[in-house]
Amino acid sequence: MNGFVRFSMWVDRVLLAVACIALVAMTLHITADVIARAFHQQVVGTLETVSYYHMVVAVLLPLAFVERNHENIRVDVLVQLLPGPVQLGFYVLACVIGFAFFGALAWQSGLDAYKSTVRAETIMSNFLFYIWPARWALPLAFGATCLATLANLMKAVGERRAL
């Protein structure tokens, strides 16, 4: 059980680190294009790479980390007035809903990523641009979030208190 929690925490951190790298890449990529433009040049494919790769990775991969640390925006006021066991009950409910939601997203986006890979999905811009690898960020992020939710749930039940 402890091993599972530690594994899922490790996954969160790795994904977060990749997202941070994507943020840096996004900053540099856009800046490079702006500088190139001042010299009547361009970094070809900035819009496509930034939107479909850097953005998707930076926005979605930290999800498991955010879920684990309860940085997903939620409303505490009402629940804090309730007795501990009721709080725990609602927390378990929230975890179950979260698990089902992210599970459904992981499952469907996994199927989509697979299909996209098989047909080598592209978008048309001023050239042909492959986007299928970016699709895999979704099942990865949502799947890891399921693990994080499960780990939180086990911890809450073990400690008999809402997290």
Residue 59 touches other proteins, criterion: CB under 8 A: yes
Residue 65 touches other proteins, criterion: CB under 8 A: yes
Of the candidate spans 1-9, 123-131, 153-161, the one that interacts with other proteins by CB under 8 A turns out to be 123-131
Q: Which residues in the 132-151 window bind other proteins by CB under 8 A?
A: 134-135, 138
How far does CA 33 lie from the centroid of its chain? 27
Residue 58 touches other proteins, criterion: CB under 8 A: yes
* CA-CA-CA-CA torsion sign (119, 124, 130, 136): negative
Residue 5 touches other proteins, criterion: CB under 8 A: no
Say which amino acid occupies 67.
Answer: E
Nearer Cβ to other proteins (2/123)? 123
Residue 163 touches other proteins, criterion: CB under 8 A: no
- Give the SS3 label for residue 125: coil
Is-contact 5 151, C-beta < 8 A?
yes
Residue 112 touches other proteins, criterion: CB under 8 A: yes
Residue 99: in which H helix or E strand, if any?
helix 84-118
How far does CA 123 lie from the centroid of its chain? 23
Which letter does DSSP use for residue 131 in this model? Answer: -
Residue 23 touches other proteins, criterion: CB under 8 A: yes
Task: Figure out which of the listed residues 6, 114, 120, 159 binds other proteins, where binding follows CB under 8 A.
Answer: 120
